[in-house]
Amino acid sequence: MKTVVVVDVGIGNLRSVQKALERAASDAGLAWKAEITPDPVAIARADKVVVPGQGAFRDCAIALKSGVAEALRAQIAQGTHFFGICMGLQTLFRTSDEAPGYEGLGVFEGTNVRLKDGERDPVTGQAVKIPHMGWNAIDLHGNGHPYLDAAGGAGTHFYFVHSYHAVPADSSLLVATAQHGPFAVTAAVARGNVFASQFHPEKSQAAGLAVLAAFLRS
């Protein structure tokens, strides 16, 4: 049985991600074991890697310095399939406005910026709430992505909880956005063996399980 590692960087509900991966594998008839660990050695030998997380960029950046960052970069470089969730997406980029002076993995160039307070929805006129929290439909960019297609593609609803979102230096990384008032929020980025979502597949019911199953099949 192959192992997908859920990387423990000290933030987020890791057990819910583990359970969602196990459910997605079971429903799809796939033989995968999901293991939670902060151990760089276990990360380095994993067949696939998931980095989830809710919380602060600073805390995640500090946790990565324990050898986890090197293990993750090595796995990505050798072609291991990687899935980042929420903070796991943001930490793919070098910096964040949330924590000046702290660096993420730097796999992609770009930064993370805060959704601006005090804005109004251009359609309804209502004040836009930050954090962005709740269900939103996605819009696909470029060719989209097979994981998102497996869940229904454009218009599929996923669950979001965040105040910051990634702004890639290379816009071709962007495969999906979600509209939150006036903001086109980065919903997913991808390149090669790396995929990451700002939404939480483990909280997104059938659509989220479909994305995770597509990841495990890849």
Catalytic residue, candidates 141, 145, 165, 200 = 200
| Alpha carbon distance 49, 6 (integer Å) | 6
Contact of 86 with 198, CB cutoff 8 Å:
yes
3-state secondary structure of 132: strand
Q: Which of 12, 115, 131, 3 is nearest to 63 (CA)?
A: 12
| Angle, in degrees to the nearest 10, between helices 14-28 and 205-217 | 70
Is 212 exposed, middle or buried (CB count within 10 Å of its CB: 0-12, 13-18, 19+)? buried
Catalytic residue, candidates 60, 81, 86, 180 = 86
Active site residue 60: no
Active site residue 145: no
Contact of 4 with 34, CB cutoff 8 Å:
yes
Task: Please report, in angstroms and rounded to a whole number, the separation of the first and last CA atoms in the chain.
Answer: 15
Contact of 174 with 186, CB cutoff 8 Å:
yes
Catalytic residues: 86, 200, 202
